[in-house]
C-alpha cells in the first residue's frame, strides 16, 4: 500500500462518512486537510534523483487485456498532486453556506477531488481515464442543482455534452494508442507502454491520427479553441468551490494527458503542430479579445482561464524530441500549477463578491477597496499573478514557455512556432488590460452611491486565501522547487 | 555582502506589509533604515571593489537555466550609488511630505518594493533577471502612482503607466529571445564576446533584435511614441515623482542601453535610437513651454532630458548618456522635491499661475530650486553644464542634424524653466494659499540642501570619476559646442524671464501644444477602434458562431447519447454514475474485444 492509495481514498472515505451522517463541512475539510499534509509528505518522500515512477503500488484486476489498479508518481504527477490537494482543501474551506442538500454538496466536491487525484496518480491508463470520469459527473450535478443564473440547467447540459463527447473521443484515442503498442499482449500499464514505444516507435502515420484524436479529446476537456464555449458559462454558473476545483484542477487533466502522451507520439505532434498552433492562437488572441469584452467578473474569469490554456498548449507545441531541452514542457507544468492556484483564488473571491454585493457586473461596482482592504489585497495579488507578473508561479511558467518557443531559433526568419510565441507575447498585454480593468472597476476609484456596504473577509476565510497566495509566491520566487522535479 | 542590496529592501517591504503596516511611523522608519543601509553598502562596494559574487539557478529545464546573479562593475556599482543616494534622500523627504497620510505604511512598503526592484535591474548579470525586475519595477510604479486609490485620476494614470510599459516590454522580450537565439546566451558578458559575430552573420535581423530590445527602453524611459504615461504619472505623490518618475526608474531604459552598448556599435539600428531620443527631447521641450501644472512642466522636462540621454546612447556615446543620467538624477530629484515643498506649502496647489512671490516666504526652497533650475538649464559650473556639454559634443561629432535639434532643446530648456521659476517665486502671491505659504519643516529641507550641493559638485571631474569610474567621459568638447551651449542658455533664460516677468497667466496660449499635439486623444481613439470594437466583435462571433456551431455539431454526433441522457432527471447521481460506467465498459468491449 502506497501513500498515494491513502491520498486517493481519503476523500472517498470522507464522502462515505458524510453519507452515513458525519457533519458534512467539517468532514470534508478534515479529509482534504489531511490530504494536503499527506501531499506534502509525498513530496518529501519523492526522490528527484531517481528516474521513473515512485511510491508505486499495483493490484492486477483483469489479465486480458492487462488492466490493473496502479498508482505512482513522477515529477509531473507530483506537481499535479500538490496542485490538487492545495486547491481541494481551500475549495472546501471557502465553500459558502449551503442552503439545501448540504450533504450531497460536499460529497460531490469530495468526489471531484478524489477523481482528480486518482487521475493524476494512476499509472494505468484505464484508471487514469475512469478517475477523470468519476470527477466529471458531480461537476454536472453541482451546476444543475446549486448553480446560479437562470440558464444553469442549460449550462449544465452544455458542459455535459461537450465533455462527454470529449471523453469519448479521448477514450477512442487511448484505446487506439495502446492497441498500436500491443506487441501480442494488450496492456493499459503506462510504464510498459512507455517502454514499448521507446523500443519501437509507433509508425508515423498511426502516430499522426492517434495524436489528432488525443489532441481533440484532451483539447475539448481543456477548452481548446474552438471547443471552448462550455467553459466560461459553466464557471460563471457553477458554485464557487466547483469552479475552483474544475478550472483549477480538473481541467488540467487534459493538459497532463498531452504532456504524458506527446513524448510517445513525437511524429504525431510534428504532423499536427501547425494545426495546434493555429488553435492555441485562437485561445490566446481570439478568446483574449472575447475576455476583454466581458462585462461580468465571472464570465471574464472563465474566459481568461480559457485564454491562459493557450500558453500551456504553446509549451506543449514546442516539444522537440530530436534535440534541445524540455523548456516548453517545464514552462507548461509551472504554468498549469500557477494558473490552477490563481484561477481558484480568483473564482473563490468572485463567489464571495457575489455573496456580498449580489452582483459581479463591472458597471454596478467600484471603489470598494477602502471598505474591504484585505479582500482587495488578495484579489489584486491573484489578478497580478494571473496577468503574469514576476514573483508568482505563472510568470516563471510563461517565461519558460516563451524560451521554449524560441529554442533553436537560428537568427534568420521565424518559423511558425516563433511567430506564435511573438503573438502569444502580445497576449500578455491583453491579459494585463483585462485584469487591471477588472481590478480597477471593482476596487479602485470612486464608489457608486447605490452600492451596499459590505464587510471584509473574516479572519478564518483569510487562511485558505493565504495558502493559495503563499503557494503562488513560493513557486514564483523559487520555481526550481518544481522544475528540478521534472524530467521528460 | 552585495546581496544585502536586494535582501534589505525586500525584507523591509515584507515586514511592513505583514506586520507593521497599521503603524505608519514604525513602517516609515523601517523603510528609511533599509534604504540608508543599502546606501552604505553601495559606498563600501564602490570603494571595496568586490567583483565576483556567486549566482544561483532560478529555474531550469535539462541543461537550460535561468539565473539570478549579480554583475558588479563600474557601471552597476556607480548606478547603485546614484539610486540608493537619491532613494535615501527621497525616503527622508517623504517622512515630512507623507506625515499625515493615512496609508503611510502601504506607501513605505511600496517604496521599499521599488528599491528592491530597481536594484535588481541595476545588478542583473543577464537578461532574464533584468526582465524579471523590469516588470517588478512596473508593478511598484503602478502601486505608487495609484497610492490615492479612491480618486479616479491616479487610478487611471497608474493603469495607463503599467499598460504602456507592458507594450514596451512586449518588444523587449522578443528582443531578448532573438538575441538568445543569435548569440546562444542571455548573460551580458558572453553576449559581448558573441555580439560581433552575430551581427555579421545575421545582419538585418540583428538590427531588428536590437530595436526590439530598445522597445523596452522606449516604454520604461517614456520615449515617443510610448511617452504618454509619464506626465499622467504625476498624479502620484510628489516624492514618488522625484524618485521613480525622474531620477531612477525612468532612467532604467538608458541604463539598459548603456549595459548593452556593445550591441549598438555593431548595427545601423543605433541611428534609429538616436533619432527617437532627439525627437522626444524636442517634442517634450516644446510641450513643456505651454504647461501650467508645476509637476507637468517638470515631467515634460524629464522626458526631454531622457531623450537627450537616449540620443547619446544611440550615437554610441553611452558614457555621455550615463554622465547625464547621473547629474540629472541629482538636479531633477531636487527640482521635484522642491516642487513638492512648494505644493505642500501651498496646500496642494499645483498651478504655477496660482502661486507667486514664494521667494520671500520659502527662502531655503527658493535657493535650492534656483540651483536645480541652473543645473537643468546648464549654467556653467553646475553639474548639468558638464554633462550636457558631453551630449552636445557627441551629437556634434555624430550627426549635424541631431546636433541642431539638441541645440534647439538647449534653448527651450532654460526658457520653460525661467517661465516656471518666475511665475512661482517672483511677483506677488496670486492666491490665498500662496499668500499663507510657510517654509517646510527641516526633515524636508535637509534633502533639498543635500541635493542642491550634489547638483553643483556632481559634475566636477573628481566627484564624477568616483561615481562613474571608467565610464566618466573625458572628451573635451569643441569650441563651437561650448559657444552654442552658452548662447542658447543665455538667450532662453533671458527670453523666459522677460516674457513672463510680472505676468499672471500664460501670455500666448497655443492649444495644439498645450494639448500635447492631441496624441493622447489619438491613442484613446485607436484603443477604442482597434481594441474595444474588435473585442466586442470577437465576443459576438464567439457567442453566435463558434458556440452554436460547436454545440450543434457535437449535439448531432451524440444524439443517441444525448437522448439517452435527456430521459434522466438532473439530480439522479446513481443513474448517472451507472450510465457512465456502462458506457465506458461497452466502448472498451466493442473496441478491444470485438
Q: Does residue B14 belong to the interface with chain A, where contact is any CB pair within 8 Å?
A: no
Nearest CA in chain B to A127: B584
Q: Does residue A326 belong to the interface with chain B, where contact is any CB pair within 8 Å?
A: yes
Strand pairing class (B56-61; A67-73): unpaired
Q: Do B580 and A478 touch (CB under 8 A)?
A: no
pLDDT tens readout for residues A442-484: 888 888 877 777 888 888 888 999 999 999 999 999 999 999 8
pLDDT tens readout for residues B244-271: 888 888 899 999 999 998 888 888 888 9
Residue A397 confidence (pLDDT) above 90: yes
How many angstroms away from the CA of A62 is the closest CA of chain B? 13
Q: Does residue A263 belong to the interface with chain B, where contact is any CB pair within 8 Å?
A: no
Weakest mean pLDDT among A336-340, A355-359, A477-481: A355-359
- Whether the CB-CB separation of B323 and B272 falls below 8 Å is answered with no
Separation between Cα atoms, residue A204 and residue B298, nearest integer Å? 66
Q: Do A137 and B162 touch (CB under 8 A)?
A: no
Q: Do A229 and B546 touch (CB under 8 A)?
A: yes
User: Highest mean pLDDT range out of A82-91, A278-287, B8-17, B61-70?
Assistant: A82-91
Q: From first to last of its 594 residues, what are the pLDDT tens digits of chain B?
A: 788 888 889 988 888 888 888 888 888 888 888 999 999 888 888 887 666 667 888 998 888 889 898 888 888 888 988 999 999 988 988 888 888 888 888 899 999 999 999 999 999 989 999 999 999 999 999 999 988 888 888 888 998 899 899 999 999 999 999 999 888 889 988 888 888 888 888 888 888 999 999 999 999 998 988 988 988 888 888 889 888 888 888 899 999 999 998 888 888 888 999 999 999 999 999 998 888 888 999 999 999 999 999 999 999 988 899 999 999 998 999 999 999 888 888 888 888 888 877 888 888 888 999 999 999 998 888 898 988 888 988 888 888 899 989 999 999 999 999 888 888 888 887 887 777 878 888 888 888 899 899 898 888 878 888 888 888 887 788 888 888 888 988 888 888 888 888 777 777 777 777 777 778 888 888 877 777 788 888 888 887 777 776 666 555 555 545 454 555 444 444 445 555 556 665 655 555 444
3-state secondary structure B520-563: HHHHHHHHHHHHHHHHHHHHHHHHHHHHHHHHHHHHHHCHHHHH
Nearest to B149 among A409, A429, A444 (CB): A444
Q: Do B60 and A480 touch (CB under 8 A)?
A: yes
- The size of the A-B interface in CB pairs under 8 A is 215
Chain B residues touching residue A443 (CB < 8 angstroms): 149
Nearest to A164 among B132, B151, B561 (CB): B561
pLDDT score recorded for residue B77: 87
A12's grid cell: 472517498
pLDDT score recorded for residue B581: 58
A387: nearest Cα among B206, B377, B113, B169: B169
A366: nearest Cα among A443, A437, A300: A443
Helix ranges (DSSP H) in B221-357: 229-232, 238-242, 252-259, 261-264, 269-288, 294-314, 318-345
Instruction: Tell which of B554, B569, B594 to mutate to test the A interface (max A CBs under 10 Å).
Output: B554
Q: Do B571 and A144 touch (CB under 8 A)?
A: yes
Separation between Cα atoms, residue A304 and residue A307, nearest integer Å? 5
Weakest mean pLDDT among A321-325, A402-406, A410-414, B277-281: A321-325
- Whether the CB-CB separation of B332 and B399 falls below 8 Å is answered with no
Residues 85-144 of A with CB under 8 A from B: 104, 126, 129-130, 133-134, 137-138, 140-141, 144
B502's grid cell: 510680472
Q: Does residue A153 belong to the interface with chain B, where contact is any CB pair within 8 Å?
A: yes
The residues facing A91 across adjacent strands are none
Separation between Cα atoms, residue A74 and residue B434, nearest integer Å? 71
- Whether the CB-CB separation of B302 and B251 falls below 8 Å is answered with no
Q: Do B132 and A395 touch (CB under 8 A)?
A: yes
B443's grid cell: 526633515
Phi/psi of residue A307, nearest 5 degrees: -60, -45
pLDDT score recorded for residue B144: 92
CA angle A387, A393, A396 (to 5 degrees): 85
The continuous run of DSSP H or E covering B228 comes out as none
Sign of CA dihedral A253, A255, A257, A259: negative
Domain map of chain A by residue range?
Answer: 3-483
Separation between Cα atoms, residue A349 and residue B544, nearest integer Å? 30
Separation between Cα atoms, residue A347 and residue B483, nearest integer Å? 66
Nearest CA in chain B to A429: B166
Residues 476-535 of B with CB under 8 A from A: 531-532, 534-535
Phi/psi of residue B45, nearest 5 degrees: -60, -40
Separation between Cα atoms, residue B555 and residue B565, nearest integer Å? 12
Q: Does residue A51 belong to the interface with chain B, where contact is any CB pair within 8 Å?
A: no
Confidence of residue A41 (pLDDT cuts 50, 70, 90): very high
Separation between Cα atoms, residue B591 and residue B594, nearest integer Å? 6
pLDDT score recorded for residue B568: 47
Q: Does residue B11 belong to the interface with chain A, where contact is any CB pair within 8 Å?
A: no
Separation between Cα atoms, residue A253 and residue A222, nearest integer Å? 8
Separation between Cα atoms, residue A72 and residue A53, nearest integer Å? 5
B230: nearest Cα among B243, B246, B252, B254: B246
Q: Does residue B196 belong to the interface with chain A, where contact is any CB pair within 8 Å?
A: no
- Cα B100–chain centre separation: 27
Kindly provide the ipTM of the predicted complex, given to two decimals: 0.91
Instruction: Tell which of B6, B7, B59 to mutate to test the A interface (max A CBs under 10 Å).
Output: B59
Q: Does residue B128 belong to the interface with chain A, where contact is any CB pair within 8 Å?
A: yes
Residue A184 confidence (pLDDT) above 90: no
Separation between Cα atoms, residue B288 and residue A148, nearest integer Å? 54
Mean pLDDT of A187-208: 87
Is pLDDT larger for residue B459 or for residue A34? Answer: A34
Separation between Cα atoms, residue A390 and residue A273, nearest integer Å? 29
- Whether the CB-CB separation of B309 and B223 falls below 8 Å is answered with no
Q: Do A330 and B61 touch (CB under 8 A)?
A: yes
Nearest to A293 among B58, B538, B587 (CB): B538
pLDDT tens readout for residues A243-264: 999 999 999 999 999 999 998 9
Q: Do A445 and B558 touch (CB under 8 A)?
A: no
Nearest CA in chain B to A329: B61
Amino acid at each position: 500500500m502506497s501513500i498515494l492509495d491513502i491520498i486517493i481514498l481519503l476523500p472517498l472515505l470522507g464522502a462515505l462518512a458524510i453519507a452515513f451522517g458525519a457533519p458534512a463541512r467539517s468532514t470534508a475539510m478534515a479529509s482534504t486537510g489531511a490530504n494536503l499534509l499527506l501531499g506534502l509528505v509525498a513530496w518529501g518522500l519523492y526522490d528527484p534523483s531517481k528516474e521513473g515512477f515512485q511510491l508505486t503500488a499495483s493490484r492486477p484486476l483483469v489479465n486480458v487485456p492487462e488492466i490493473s489498479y496502479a498508482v505512482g508518481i513522477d515529477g509531473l504527477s507530483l506537481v499535479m498532486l500538490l496542485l490538487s490537494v492545495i486547491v481541494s482543501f481551500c475549495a472546501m474551506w471557502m465553500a459558502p453556506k449551503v442552503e439545501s442538500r448540504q450533504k450531497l454538496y460536499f460529497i460531490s466536491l469530495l468526489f471531484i477531488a478524489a477523481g482528480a487525484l486518482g487521475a493524476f496518480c494512476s499509472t494505468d491508463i484505464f484508471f487514469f481515464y475512469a478517475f477523470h470520469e468519476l470527477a466529471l459527473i458531480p461537476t454536472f450535478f453541482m451546476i444543475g442543482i446549486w448553480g446560479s443564473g437562470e440558464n444553469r440547467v442549460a449550462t449544465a447540459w452544455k458542459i455535459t455534452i461537450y465533455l462527454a463527447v470529449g471523453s469519448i473521443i479521448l477514450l477512442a484515442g487511448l484505446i487506439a494508442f495502446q492497441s498500436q503498442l500491443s506487441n501480442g499482449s494488450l496492456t493499459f500499464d503506462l510504464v510498459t507502454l512507455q517502454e514499448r514505444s521507446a523500443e519501437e516507435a509507433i509508425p508515423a502515420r498511426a502516430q499522426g491520427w492517434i495524436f489528432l484524436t488525443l489532441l481533440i479529446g484532451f483539447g475539448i476537456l481543456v477548452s481548446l479553441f474552438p471547443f471552448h464555449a462550455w467553459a466560461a458559462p459553466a464557471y460563471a454558473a457553477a458554485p464557487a468551490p466547483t469552479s475552483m476545483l474544475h478550472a483549477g484542477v480538473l481541467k488540467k487533466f487534459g493538459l497532463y494527458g498531452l504532456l504524458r502522451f506527446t513524448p510517445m507520439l513525437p511524429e504525431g505532434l510534428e504532423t499536427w503542430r501547425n494545426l495546434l498552433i493555429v488553435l492555441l492562437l485562437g485561445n490566446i488572441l481570439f478568446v483574449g479579445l472575447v475576455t476583454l469584452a466581458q462585462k461580468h467578473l465571472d464570465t471574464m474569469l472563465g474566459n481568461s482561464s480559457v485564454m491562459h490554456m493557450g500558453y500551456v498548449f504553446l509549451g506543449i507545441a514546442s516539444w522537440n524530441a530530436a534535440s534541445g531541452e524540455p523548456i516548453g514542457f517545464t514552462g507548461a507544468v509551472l504554468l498549469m500549477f500557477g494558473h490552477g492556484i490563481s484561477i481558484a483564488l480568483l473564482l473563490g473571491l468572485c463567489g464571495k463578491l457575489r455573496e456580498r454585493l449580489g452582483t459581479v457586473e463591472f458597471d454596478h461596482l467600484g471603489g470598494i477597496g477602502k471598505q474591504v482592504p484585505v479582500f482587495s489585497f488578495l484579489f489584486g495579488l491573484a489578478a497580478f499573478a494571473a496577468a503574469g507578473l514576476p514573483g508568482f508561479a505563472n510568470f516563471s511558467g510563461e517565461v519558460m514557455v516563451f524560451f521554449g518557443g524560441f529554442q533553436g531559433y537560428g537568427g534568420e526568419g521565424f518559423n511558425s512556432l516563433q511567430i506564435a510565441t511573438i503573438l502569444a507575447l502580445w497576449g500578455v498585454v491583453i491579459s494585463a488590460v483585462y485584469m487591471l480593468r477588472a481590478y480597477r472597476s471593482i476596487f479602485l476609484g470612486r464608489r457608486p452611491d447605490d452600492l451596499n456596504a459590505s464587510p471584509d473577509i473574516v479572519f478564518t476565510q483569510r487562511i485558505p486565501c493565504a495558502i493559495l497566495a503563499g503557494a503562488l509566491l513560493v513557486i514564483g520566487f523559487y520555481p526550481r522547487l518544481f522544475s528540478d522535479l521534472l524530467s521528460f | 555582502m552585495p546581496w544585502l542590496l536586494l535582501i534589505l529592501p525586500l525584507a523591509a517591504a515584507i515586514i511592513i506589509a505583514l506586520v507593521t503596516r497599521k503603524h505608519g511611523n514604525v513602517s516609515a522608519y523601517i523603510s528609511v533604515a533599509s534604504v540608508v543601509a543599502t546606501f552604505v553598502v553601495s559606498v563600501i562596494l564602490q570603494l571595496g571593489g568586490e567583483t565576483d559574487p556567486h549566482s544561483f539557478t532560478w529555474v531550469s529545464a535539462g541543461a537550460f537555466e535561468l539565473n539570478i546573479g549579480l554583475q558588479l562593475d563600474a557601471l552597476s556599482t556607480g548606478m547603485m550609488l546614484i539610486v540608493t543616494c537619491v532613494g535615501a534622500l527621497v525616503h527622508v523627504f517623504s517622512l515630512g511630505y507623507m506625515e499625515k497620510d493615512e496609508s503611510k505604511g502601504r506607501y513605505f512598503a511600496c517604496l521599499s518594493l521599488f528599491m528592491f526592484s530597481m536594484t535588481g535591474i541595476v545588478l542583473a548579470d543577464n537578461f532574464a533577471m533584468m526582465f524579471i525586475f523590469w516588470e517588478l519595477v512596473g508593478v511598484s510604479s503602478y502601486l505608487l502612482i495609484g497610492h490615492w486609490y479612491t480618486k479616479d485620476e491616479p487610478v487611471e494614470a497608474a493603469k495607463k503607466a503599467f499598460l504602456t510599459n507592458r507594450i514596451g516590454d512586449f518588444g523587449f522580450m522578443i528582443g531578448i529571445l532573438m538575441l538568445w537565439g543569435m548569440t546562444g546566451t542571455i548573460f551580458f558578458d558572453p553576449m559581448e564576446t558573441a555580439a560581433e559575430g552575430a551581427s555579421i552573420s545575421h545582419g538585418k535581423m540583428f538590427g531588428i533584435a536590437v530595436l526590439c530590445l530598445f522597445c523596452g527602453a522606449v516604454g520604461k524611459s517614456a520615449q515617443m511614441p510610448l511617452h504618454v504615461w509619464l506626465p499622467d504619472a504625476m498624479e502620484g505623490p510628489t516624492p514618488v515623482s522625484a524618485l521613480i518618475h525622474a531620477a531612477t526608474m525612468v532612467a532604467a531604459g538608458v541604463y539598459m542601453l548603456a549595459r548593452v552598448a556593445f550591441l549598438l556599435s555593431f548595427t545601423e539600428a543605433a541611428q534609429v535610437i538616436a533619432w527617437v531620443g532627439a525627437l522626444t527631447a524636442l517634442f517634450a521641450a516644446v510641450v513643456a513651454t505651454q504647461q501650467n501644472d508645476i509637476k507637468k512642466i517638470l515631467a515634460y522636462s524629464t522626458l526631454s532630458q531622457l531623450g537627450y540621454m537616449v540620443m547619446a546612447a544611440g550615437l554610441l556615446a553611452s558614457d555621455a548618456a550615463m554622465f547625464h543620467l547621473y547629474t540629472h538624477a541629482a538636479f531633477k530629484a531636487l527640482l521635484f522635491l522642491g516642487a513638492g515643498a512648494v505644493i505642500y506649502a501651498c496646500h496642494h496647489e499645483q498651478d504655477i499661475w496660482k502661486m507667486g512671490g514664494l521667494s520671500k516666504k520659502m527662502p531655503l526652497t527658493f535657493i535650492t530650486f534656483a540651483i536645480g533650475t541652473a543645473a537643468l538649464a546648464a549654467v556653467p559650473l553646475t553639474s548639468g553644464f558638464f554633462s550636457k556639454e558631453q551630449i552636445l559634443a557627441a551629437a556634434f561629432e555624430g550627426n549635424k542634424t541631431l546636433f541642431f535639434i539638441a541645440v534647439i532643446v538647449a534653448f527651450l530648456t532654460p526658457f520653460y524653466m525661467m517661465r516656471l521659476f518666475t511665475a512661482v517665486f517672483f511677483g506677488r502671491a496670486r492666491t490665498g494659499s500662496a499668500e499663507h505659504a510657510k517654509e517646510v519643516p527641516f526633515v524636508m529641507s535637509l534633502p533639498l540642501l543635500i541635493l542642491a550641493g550634489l547638483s553643483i559638485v556632481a559634475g566636477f571631474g573628481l566627484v564624477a570619476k568616483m561615481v562613474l569610474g571608467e565610464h566618466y567621459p573625458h572628451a573635451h568638447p569643441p569650441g563651437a559646442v561650448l559657444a552654442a551651449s552658452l548662447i542658447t542658455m543665455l538667450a532662453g533664460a533671458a527670453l523666459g524671464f522677460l516674457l513672463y516677468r510680472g505676468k499672471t497667466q500664460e501670455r500666448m496660449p497655443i492649444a495644439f501644444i498645450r494639448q500635447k499635439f492631441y496624441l493622447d486623444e489619438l491613442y484613446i481613439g485607436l484603443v477604442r477602434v482597434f481594441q474595444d470594437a474588435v473585442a466586442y466583435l470577437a465576443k459576438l462571433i464567439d457567442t453566435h458562431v463558434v458556440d452554436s456551431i460547436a454545440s450543434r455539431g457535437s449535439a448531432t454526433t451524440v444524439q443517441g447519447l444525448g437522448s439517452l441522457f435527456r430521459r434522466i432527471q438532473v439530480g439522479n447521481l446513481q443513474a448517472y454514475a451507472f450510465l457512465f460506467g456502462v458506457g465506458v465498459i461497452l466502448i472498451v468491449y466493442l473496441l478491444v474485444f470485438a
